[in-house]
Structure 1
Amino acid sequence: MPASAIVLGAGMVGVSVALHLRRRGLDVLLVDRQQPGEGASFGNGGLIQREAVHPHPFPRDASEILRIARNKSIDAYYHWGALPGLATPLLRYWWNSEPQRYARIAEAYAKLIETCLDEHYAFARGTDAMPLLRPIGWIRMYSDEASFTAALAQAEEGKRQHGVNFTAMDSQALVAAEPSLLKSRHGGIHWTDPVSVSDPHALVMSYAQRFLEAGGRFVIGDATSLTRAGSGWRVQTSDGPAEAEQVVVALGAFANKVTKPLGYDPPTFGKRGYHRHYTLQGNAVLNRPVLDTESAFLLAPMRAGVRLTTGAEFAGIDEAPTPVQLARAEPVARTLLPLGDAVEPEPWMGVRPCTPDMLPIIGKLPGQDGVWCAFGHAHQGFTLGPTTGRMLAEMMTGERPFIDPEPYRADRF
């Protein structure tokens, strides 16, 4: 199965890289251990987050760190046994979240985010993906005037610096927008630019179908079998060994399992997340995704029902699911919205791939000719897949990247 490029990983990032490479004339084989979109891309808030120009920093306030350390919250939970292995990357994450360092990082991060809508629509227009994209934005609600005022100030800064659009909402506007809410809130910010996706898995599958229609190929395979094959690379698949001149590692939180044997072991770490869908009682509706700052979870209307998502769980990426946060969130969510029965018998779990400096790793893998990296997008792999795919494909084919790739280079670690 000769090919010019093998892309390892068929989530939103891997599928996007493969499609961009195929559209540039490469013979591309997409390889994953499961079907496209069934990893971390399957479970998220379903938002293409044009407003997310600031990555998630590590808390710097002592009281906030103490709250999380108690391990009782909905937004963060950790396994004690995982902490020794996480100590170094989390300490570097904390260090990079210092305000001056964070400002420089956020500037590079925003350059990616600013492109996300254009790059998604470039894939979706004229296809069955378009009905999945709902330009309705999402709402973040606040319980008190102080937090609401501070959030509005940050939103104004995002609008001035990065063209982020929003509408401020008082308590009456929140009720008018979401009449089924059971609790009142002081105010909210309606981020109007983001696109809400009614079925994130279906969107990845739609992009994967564009790849296949363009002449690309997909096969089940074992990414960890990657080895040198002359001047190229070989990987074992269900159809036998496949070889290519170049290979892209787009394996999210599991990328180190492939890159470490090649001599590259960046200090990445995983944030596990869970979701579950619920029906709504009676005639209740949820018109757009809503995040309640006080409760620290997102409720999003999906094809399958209302999706309840959790924050970050710090654990080994191969450990069995422990949906503690979802168990904490569900009873609180029922006081906010009249949820009915759970749709699935068990919650879904996935792992977000994170880096200590909050920037993805995009570019050449150090010390290995023909190997490229496309992972470490943390909470925004779904948002940034098409952007990453275009930028990396331009680099691999000798074009001038439409975004300067310097801040995301692999050898910064």
Structure 2
Amino acid sequence: MKRQVLVLGAGMIGTCTALQLALRGHAVTLVDRREPGRETSYGNAGLIQREAVEPYPFPRDATTLARAAFKRGVDVNYHLGALPGVAGPLARYFANSQPARHAVIAQAHARLIEHCTAEHAPLIERAGASDLVRHDGFLFVYREAASYVQGVERARALAQSHGLQHAELDPDALAAAEPALRRRLAGAVHWKDSWAVSNPGELVSRYAALFTREGGHIVRGDAGSLRASASGWQVDTEQGAIDAEHAVVALGPWSDPLVRSLGYRYPLFVKRGYHRHYRGGEAPHLAMLDADRGLVIVPMQQGVRITTGAEFARLDAPPTPVQLERAHALASELVDLPEPVEDTPWLGARPCTADMLPVMGAAPRHRGLWFNFGHAHQGFTLGPVCGRLLADLIEGATPVVDPLPYAPTRFG
């Protein structure tokens, strides 16, 4: 049966949800205030992370916590005024990072990650986006010998448990593989199953173009105007009010204000992050995570992109890119980054949940309303499989994975 669906939010998650529904013949309208892929999905590291089978836990060792508390690294920054608003979700996040709880959460997370490349692959082909994607993995690089040993031990365990391919590069092998490195490092783990995208925003744009070729419609509109109507749901757009039987909230970090207006309270919080591109030096061959310093260095179409860790701040707070300044200094120890491309750094936000799993499924108290948000660092990786899962649920089809761990009802 053909259904009419509004999808609110044109990032990777929303665009893939709309696309998966359109591919099944449903009448879908994708609504956003901007063009597809211009917000969070534009600014990530461009990695489809098949190796990311475990979500990021809250750090528990004293050294890391002290570094974060005193803002000494590039991995964490915070605004004091924002802390009261995130204290509750962060406390639950900390509790869920206890090893036994995290292990259970990781099992549910891995069930989604296991499908990431298999679900991206057909969309990449149909969207004509193969020129954007490399299939040769990326590197976790280590400055310190002790952390390299720990990284190798963890990689071996994950590879064995989840069927992942990896290689262990000693200092000589790493130097040979990455001649752009300016200094000798302790080693690297090469995760071979992950893919790198040279322009993540463009990949979302091509998925959106495929969506329109499949009969979907993209309109500018105000997602915050969503309201119940006689036919189901209605939203205001530049083309007037649009009605549909179903509506999917896939607004990433902007999902919380909308669902709160409908009476839902979930333990959500936002991690902001920055990036900037640099040119003029030799780019690394593969994307690399500087595992000892918490930053990513990745070759992109626009130049070499440097990304930061998390900043806890209000979503609309003014930028404070101190992490990026530190990240550039640290990254410059590894590769030559002489000239910034943009005048100012890019700022975006990641939508996170206290239990590290996305919120996906039917809204508990509203017929025809669906949620697909809270994917934290992995929205870009998980867009196609999570879009497929939502399409399965809306159709009443057998879901690609068991949806229970991600159900909106799990928070009570």
Give the conservation status (yes or no) of the 8 Å contact 2:147–2:292: no
Q: Return the letter of the residue paired with 2:331.
A: A
Question: Aligned partners of 2:143, 2:283: CA distance in 1, in Å?
Answer: 21
Equivalent residue in structure 1 for 2:315, among 311, 314, 317: 317
Aligned to 1:256: 256
Does 1:65 pair with 2:65? yes
Given candidates 362, 365, 368, the residue that maps to 2:366 is 368
In 2, distance between residues paired with 1:127 and 1:224? 30
Q: Any idea what the Cα deviations from partners look like across 1:370-398, whole Å, max 9, x if unmatched? A: 00000000000000000100011011011
**Could you say which residue in structure 1 is the equivalent of 2:182?**
182
Q: Partners of 2:195 and 2:96 in 1: how far apart?
A: 29
Q: Is the CA contact (8 Å cut-off) linking 1:264 and 1:366 kept in structure 2?
A: no
Does 2:23 match 1:17?
A: no
Deviations 1:205-255 (A, max 9, x none): 010011000000000000000111014011000000000000000000110
2:386 alignment partner, one of 384, 388, 403: 388
Which amino acid in 2 is paired with 1:326?
L
Contact 2:127 2:209 in 1 (8 A): no
Correspondence list, 1:326-345, <5 A: 326-345=324-343
Matches within 5 A, 1:195-210: 195-210=195-210
Which residue of the partner structure matches residue 307 of structure 1? 305
Which secondary structure does the structure 2 equivalent of 1:339 belong to? Answer: coil
**Residue segments in structure 2 that go unaligned for 5+ positions in a row:** none
Q: What is the CA distance between 1:331 and its match in structure 2?
A: 1.8
**Structure 1 gaps, min length 5:** none
Task: Find the partner of 1:403 among 396, 401, 404.
Answer: 401
Which residue number corresponds to residue 155 of structure 2? Answer: 155
- Hey, what does 1:142 align to over in structure 2? 142
CA contact under 8 A between 1:232 and 1:370: conserved in structure 2? yes
> Is 1:4 the counterpart of 2:4 in the alignment?
yes
1: CA distance between counterparts of 2:402 and 2:275?
35
Matches of 1:327 and 1:195 in 2, distance apart? Answer: 27
Which amino acid in the other structure matches residue 185 of structure 1? L
1:218 corresponds to which residue?
218
2:156 aligned with 1:121: no
Separation of aligned partners in 2, 1:142 and 1:298: 12
- The code of the aligned residue for 1:372 comes to W
1:62 deviates by 2.2
Q: Secondary structure at the match of 1:317?
A: coil
- The answer to whether the Cα contact below 8 Å between 1:142 and 1:186 also exists between their aligned partners in 2 is yes
1:191 is matched with which residue?
191
Confirm or deny that 1:287 pairs with 2:269.
no
Alpha-carbon distance in 2 for matches of 1:77, 1:183: 27
CA contact (8 A) 2:279 2:339 kept: yes
Q: Deviation string for 1:146-182 (max 9, x for gaps)?
A: 2112211111111121111110000001111111111
Q: Is the 8 A contact 2:361 2:406 kept in 1?
A: yes
Say if 2:127 and 2:207, in contact at 8 Å, map to a contact too: no
- C-alpha contact 2:283 2:304 (8 A) present in aligned 1: no
Residue of structure 2 equivalent to 1:267: 267
Letter in 2 for 1:386: P
Alignment partners' CA distance in 2, 1:213 and 1:354: 32
Q: Which residue of 1 aligns with 2:98?
A: 98
Superposed displacement of residue 262, structure 1: 1.1
TM normalised by structure 1 equals 0.97
**What is the Cα-based RMSD across aligned positions, in Å?**
1.2
Deviations 1:103-138 (A, max 9, x none): 000000000001000000020114421111101211
Correspondence 1:230 to 2:208: no
Partner of 1:377: 375
Residue-by-residue CA offset, 1:241-294 (whole Å, 9 max, x unaligned): 00000000000011012111111121100000110000033xx23111112222
Decide whether the 8 Å contact of 2:73 with 2:293 is kept in 1: no
Q: CA deviation at 1:144?
A: 2.5
- Residue 25 of structure 1, CA deviation: 1.5
Matched residues, number? 410
TM-score (normalizing by structure 2): 0.98
| Aligned amino acid, residue 368 of structure 2 | G
- Report the 3-state secondary structure (helix = DSSP H, G, I; strand = E; otherwise coil) of the residue aligned with 2:355: coil
CA distance in 1, matches of 2:144, 2:341: 33
1:223 aligns to what SS in structure 2?
strand
Mapped to 1, the partners of 2:186 and 2:160 lie a distance apart of: 25
Native 8 Å contact 2:86 2:269 kept in 1: yes
CA offset digits 1:322-365 (Å, max 9, x no partner): 11100111122222111121011111111000000000011011
Q: Distance in 1 between matches of 2:283 and 2:34?
A: 34
- Contact 1:245–1:370, Cα closer than 8 Å, also in 2: yes
SS in 2 for 1:277: strand
Partners of 2:331 and 2:148 in 1: CA distance: 21
Q: Distance in 1 between matches of 2:280 and 2:351?
A: 32
Kept after mapping to 1: 8 A contact 2:10/2:35: yes
The residue aligned with 1:355 is 353
Match for 1:357: what amino acid? D
Cross-structure match for 1:29: 29
Distance 2:363 2:203 in 1: 29
Q: Residue deviations 1:181-203, cap 9 Å, x none?
A: 11111111011111000100110
Contact 2:18 2:28 (C-alpha < 8 Å) held by counterparts: yes
Report the alpha carbon displacement of residue 411 of structure 1 after superposing the two structures with TM.
1.1
Quote the sequence identity (%).
48
1:296 matched to which residue of 2?
294
The answer to which of 166-175 and 324-333 deviates more is 324-333
